[in-house]
Chain A
């Protein structure tokens, strides 16, 4: 079975710091995969490299069977890669509707299609419809995150990558957001790659997961396996050391 997204031997970094060190992972069509790991493990770097914001030092990114090495970042959206970046990054001086339109920027497609898609998404996220002509900068954290997700969905991605969408949201808002993700996955068969710090929550949603440490996969398995794996908890709260200093 061929994977939708396949990373092999991916090495990347910023300046002298090596954030990814020979990373291998794959996401199959229709899967919900979660990337776990402490800060600095390379989760965000993985996503940036996949969406072309960062050039890898070595290694390969294949998406839908195509090597992305020579595809510039802005073309990857058109290929079906959606990326909701860390910290939402909505455009605060654009209205909510304008933000959505930007999500479907390659307007080569027929005019009506973008509008139809926008209407459809506003059905899914009714809160955004209420705020349609408001400046996005005035949205609350939860609404802004919804907007960021909806905006990425405008381009009709085959794979949606989300980078810590729960960051800075109240628990109930996190639950609401993850509810949407679960529905998108279950009802529309959307393939999702989720980076999340709240491992327990994320593993309830996902089919499969990876735990990254220092730019490599430390543990991988199905969600159920990972949930019971003491190493997942250890990645966040430290291993139970025999010798306590």
Chain B
């Protein structure tokens, strides 16, 4: 096992952690596990690929466009998922709606980039640096720092701002939140938007290093979900810990055994954790529907 594998793991872990965070942000007020969440990863990667690799514009433009498009995607997802869920009333409505949304976005990406294997732009900062004898790519370092910053920022937002408090309240009990005068519908829209933006940033940062195929959204959702379950749904810190664990497990096992055994290890870990600790390793149980 090389030290590089650990850096790779931390990098992948920060991507998964961001997806996990987004999943829990959407889950808390809606009690919906959004299977379409990973599609925002593809959106981020696709914008980066389009702007940086094809249009040769800078990363600043990429960031701006990604955030705007992701916000729009979040709005769209909220409509596509919450409207059928409210109208349907079936206990399976959420899974069908989120899967359908995932299907739609996935096919849109597939149609746009049907001749692209991997959405791979050049890195934000080329090259790397030496840290205690280990080569670290700047892109990886950047992703890890951004992930940490986003986590810390969201954590602060949840704890310190009035809206953050309201979001936590809504996660606990929507009816009582309404009695407080909290516009729960708006909070739900907001959480879809924030979730999509965070996930898109993850995709943007991941694209130069990780293999991001146009159809890989569901895989990112599942890895992010694994991270969320390991960390316990609810807190940015849990998402961070879960994401890092998943990333490390994935890359370290892969570098030791090779091939797709890394995936196997991750999914086996997910199964074992769900069976043995039905409430995750750190957090509270994710209440079922």
Q: Are A93 and B181 in contact (CB under 8 A)?
A: no
Question: How many A-B pairs fall under 8 Å by CB?
Answer: 62
Q: What A residues does B182 contact at CB under 8 A?
A: 74, 102, 105
Interface residues of A in 63-87 (CB under 8 A from B): 72-78, 83, 85
Nearest Cβ in chain B — how far from A51, in angstroms? Answer: 6
- B184-219 at interface with A (beta carbon < 8 Å): 184
> Chain B residues near A28 (CB, 8 Å)?
none
Is the CB–CB distance between B169 and A102 below 8 Å?
A: yes
| Residues in chain B near residue A152, CB distance under 8 A | 179
**B168 CB contacts on chain A under 8 angstroms:** 91, 93-94
User: By the criterion CB–CB under 8 Å, are A94 and B181 in contact?
Assistant: no
Measured between C-beta atoms, what is the minimum distance from B167 to chain A in Å?
11
Give the Cβ gap from A104 to chain B, nearest Cβ, in Å: 8
Query: How far is B174's CA from A73's CA once the two chains are assembled, in angstroms?
Result: 11
B173 touches A91 (CB 8 A): yes
Q: How long is the Cα–Cα vector from A103 to B179 in the complex, in angstroms?
A: 8
**CA separation between A52 and B184, bound complex, in Å?**
13
> Given A101, A106, A155, which contacts B165 in the complex, CB threshold below 8 Å?
A101
| Interchain CB contact under 8 A, B166 and A105 | yes
Contact indicator B162/A77 (Cβ below 8 Å)? no
Sorting the interface of chain B by its residue count into under 10, 10 to 19, 20 to 34 or 35 or more gives: 10 to 19
Question: Which bucket holds chain A's interface residue count?
Answer: 20 to 34
Bound Cα distance from A93 to B165, whole angstroms:
10
Q: A224 → chain B, closest Cβ, in Å?
A: 32
Known pairs A94-B165, A107-B162; A53 contacts B175 (CB<8 A)? yes
A201: Cβ under 8 A from any B Cβ:
no
**Residues A74 and B183 in contact, CB atoms below 8 Å apart:** yes
Provide the bound-state CA to CA distance between A89 and B176, in Å.
Answer: 7
Q: Which residues of B contact A77 (CB under 8 A)?
A: 179-181
Residue A92 CB within 8 A of the other chain = yes
Interface assignment of A98: CB less than 8 Å from any CB of chain B? yes
Residues of A within 8 A of B179 (CB): 51, 53, 73, 77, 83, 85, 89, 152
Assess whether B172 is interfacial by the CB under 8 Å rule. Answer: yes
Check: B152 CB closer than 8 A to any chain A CB: no
A155's contact among B169, B175, B181, by CB below 8 Å, is which? B181
State which of A51, A52, A91 has its C-beta within 8 Å of the C-beta of B169: A91
B258 to chain A, nearest CB (A): 44
B178 cross-chain contacts in A, Cβ below 8 A: 51-53, 73-74
A94 touches B169 (CB 8 A): yes
Q: Is the pair B176, A75 in contact by a Cβ cutoff of 8 Å?
A: no
Q: Would B175 and A101 count as touching, CB distance under 8 A?
A: no
Q: Which residue of A lies closest to B184 (CB)?
A: A74
Chain B residues within an 8 Å CB radius of A106? 181
Out of A76, A91, A93, name the residue touching B176 (CB < 8 Å): A91
Chain B nearest CB from A5 CB (Å) reads 16
Alpha-carbon gap, A105 to B162, bound state (A): 7
When the two chains form their complex, are residues A102 and B175 in contact, meaning their CB atoms are under 8 A apart?
no
**Chain B residues in 8 Å Cβ range of A155:** 180-181
What 0/1 readout, one digit per residue, does chain B (137-176) give for beta carbons within 8 Å of chain A? 0000000000000000000000000100110110011011
**Cα distance A94–B177 in the bound complex, in angstroms:** 13
Q: Which of A89, A92, A102 has the most CB of B within 10 A?
A: A102
Docked complex Cα distance between A236 and B276 (Å): 48
* Chain B residues numbered 222-271 whose CB sits less than 8 Å from any CB in chain A: none
In the complex, which residues of chain A have a beta carbon less than 8 angstroms from the beta carbon of B176? 85, 89, 91
Q: Which residues of B contact A91 (CB under 8 A)?
A: 168-169, 172-173, 176
| Pairwise interchain contact A102-B166, C-beta atoms closer than 8 A | yes
Interface residues of B in 92-144 (CB under 8 A from A): none
Distance between Cα atoms of A105 and B183 in the complex (Å):
10
> How far is it, in angstroms, between the C-alpha of A53 and the C-alpha of B175 when the chains are bound?
7
Q: How distant is the Cα of A77 from the Cα of B176 in the complex, in angstroms?
A: 11
CB distance B175 to A103 under 8 Å? Answer: no
Q: Which residue of B lies closest to A84 (CB)?
A: B179
Contacts of A51 in B (CB 8 A): 178-179
Most-contacted residue by chain B among A91, A107, A155 (CB, 10 A): A91
Distance A19 CA – B185 CA, assembled complex (angstroms) = 26
Q: Which residues of A are found within 8 Å of B169, using beta-carbon distances?
A: 91, 94, 102
Contact with A along B71-105 (1 / 0, CB 8 A): 00000000000000000000000000000000000
- CA separation between A210 and B179, bound complex, in Å? 24
Contact with A along B15-45 (1 / 0, CB 8 A): 0000000000000000000000000000000
What are 11 inter-chain pairs, A to B, with CB distance below 8 A?
A: A51-B179, A73-B178, A74-B177, A74-B183, A77-B180, A85-B179, A89-B175, A94-B165, A94-B168, A101-B162, A105-B182
| A-B residue pairs, 10 tightest by C-beta | A77-B181, A89-B176, A73-B178, A105-B181, A74-B183, A105-B180, A83-B179, A102-B180, A74-B178, A106-B181
